[in-house]
């Protein structure tokens, strides 16, 4: 395997994800524990003095908190697992899409197989995430390998410019 091919298949970098969140001017992270991102992304954020982590009980609560932070002039990211995203679709529709709030979500795709498109997963819950977001007109990006992190800050910037939600799907466990 060439150096380029090896780098293209390297896992996501948790530090690059955190750097992209900071580069987008995010000061608040609303979060529920997520097997995919908690260990390497969320736990270090808990000790980062530049970020305030708000742990929430339900994903739809996190959507509302992020919308409220936006109303108060703050930028935030909501971290959750895809199962919670599916559970909070109505709140995403009402608060973020119809309410024109730039709710930015970092969503772990539990048990995704990097390299296999989630729409082709044998797991029904993974297969339906992107089609649902597409039907709702919600911008979404799939992050699976090293280098994909570079789309995070620009996606957050677009969300705030357009006053629209964005979902960053984390399809591989960051290291």
pLDDT at 43: 96
- Find out whether 5 and 53 touch, Cβ atoms under 8 Å: no
- Please tell us whether the domain made up of 3-170 is placed in CATH 2.40.70.10: no
What residues contact residue 111 under an 8 Å CB cut-off, 6+ apart? 123, 126
SS3 (DSSP) at 55? strand
What are the boundaries of each domain within the chain?
3-170
pTM above threshold 0.85: yes
Average pLDDT, the chain: 95
115-168: pLDDT as tens digits: 999 999 999 999 999 999 999 999 999 999 999 999 999 999 999 999 999 999
Q: Please, which pLDDT band fits residue 3 given cuts at 50, 70 and 90?
A: very low
45-65: pLDDT as tens digits: 999 999 999 999 999 999 999
Quick check: 4 pLDDT over 90? no
- CA torsion 154-158-161-164 (nearest 10°) is -140
SS3 (DSSP) at 79? strand
């Amino acid at each position: 395997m060439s150096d380029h091919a090896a780098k293209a298949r390297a896992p996501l970098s948790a530090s690059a994800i955190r750097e992209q969140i900071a580069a987008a001017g995010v000061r608040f992270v609303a979060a529920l524990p997520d097997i995919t991102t908690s260990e390497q992304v969320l736990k270090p954020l808990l000790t980062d003095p530049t970020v305030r982590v708000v742990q929430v009980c339900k994903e739809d609560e996190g959507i509302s908190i992020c919308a409220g932070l936006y109303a108060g002039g703050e930028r935030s990211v909501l971290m959750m697992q895809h199962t919670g995203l599916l559970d909070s679709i109505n709140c995403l529709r009402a608060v973020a899409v119809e309410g024109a709030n730039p709710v930015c979500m970092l969503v772990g795709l539990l048990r995704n197989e990097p390299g296999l498109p989630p729409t082709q997963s044998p797991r029904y819950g993974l297969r339906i995430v992107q089609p649902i977001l597409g039907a709702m007109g919600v911008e979404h990006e799939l992050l699976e390998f090293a280098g994909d992190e570079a789309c995070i800050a620009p996606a957050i910037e677009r969300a705030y410019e357009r006053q629209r939600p964005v979902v960053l799907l984390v399809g591989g466990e960051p290291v």
